[in-house]
Amino acid sequence: MRYGTLKVFSGSSHQAFVNSICANLGISPGGREIVKFSNENIMVRILDNVRGDDVFVVQTTFTPVNENILEMLIMIDALKHASAGRVTAVLPYFPYARSDKKDQPRISIAARLMADLLEAAGADRILTMNLHSPQIQGFFRMPSDQLIGAPVIVDYLRHKNLKNAVLVAGDVGEIKDVAGYANRLDLQIAIIDKRRYGNDERPKAKHIIGDVEGKDCILVDDEIASGRTMLEALDFLIARGAASVSCAAIHPVLTGDAVQRLTESAMREVVVGDTIPVEHKRTDKMKVLTMAPRFAEAIKRIHLGQSISELFKK
């Protein structure tokens, strides 16, 4: 089915990212008005005519998280009532992605709930990047595309001296992702056996699989939240003779004082994407790589009915 004009609208969470996407597409962001009343209710008004158009709404998971989620749902609903031909929810960092399973008694699988809410609001399609777990994509009853940010980080790392480098998975759950980096960079990998006790975000590294002595270690993960995983791994690798340690992640969640602790640590470099606003937290030790061109290309391909899988080869 062919839809009308391609239009991209932005929520409040990451306007700079949307501006970059639109610049890559050669269009301007759609006009909208977002009002928060004194009773904290939100109203969204679409200022452009979108009847029959192919509309993409971009909103990432950023403070205030729950308000931004509701804002996106209301914006999707407004677009559907404005007779948009198709509405694609673009979530660079998917909300509640860590709540993807029932691993404790009497808890919610909140990632599935987010999928249900997007569908109920009227989203026809989902576009996101690097879900925390592959099974989340199965939560959607509508077409969904998961972009991979690894090629952007790989392109950056290729320009460095990697003769003495080894890629390190911070835990066994990251093995598959790290293997993807290793295949592209032709590097060896090592794996940290990490144990997490409870919900306190304080993992403990226990063992190492692979050779890190005298090596330049590059820790790879899908996100950096509190930073404790990276810092625990840093100390663990240095204690086992690593020459240096850097880290790379797609999503710079960076909660609390994570940036300060990473900056003051022995971490050589922190490489992150821009799926979450990070400029206000940026330091000299941090390298921010933009994922906007990949989203722009995916949006263009979805609009034209072209293959998204081609992007995985780049």
The catalytic residue positions are: 194
How far are the Cα atoms of 175, 212, 289 from residue 81, in angstroms, in the given order? Answer: 44, 57, 36
Token digits of residue 86: 């198709």
Tell me if the bond preceding 92 is cis, omega within 30° of 0: no
Dihedral, CA of residue 175, residue 164, residue 157 and residue 178, to nearest 10: 0
Phi-psi region of 235 (alpha: psi -120 to 50; beta: other; left: phi over 0): alpha
Please enumerate in sequence order all residues whose Cβ is within 8 A of that of 92, keeping only pairs 6 or more positions apart, or say none: 14, 17, 58, 60, 128, 129, 275, 276, 291, 295
CA-based end-to-end distance of the chain: 27
Q: Are strands 216-224 and 165-169 parallel, antiparallel or unpaired?
A: parallel
Please enumerate in sequence order all residues whose Cβ is within 8 A of that of 70, keeping only pairs 6 or more positions apart, or say none: 42
How far are the Cα atoms of 114, 197, 275 from residue 48, in angstroms, in the given order? Answer: 27, 50, 26
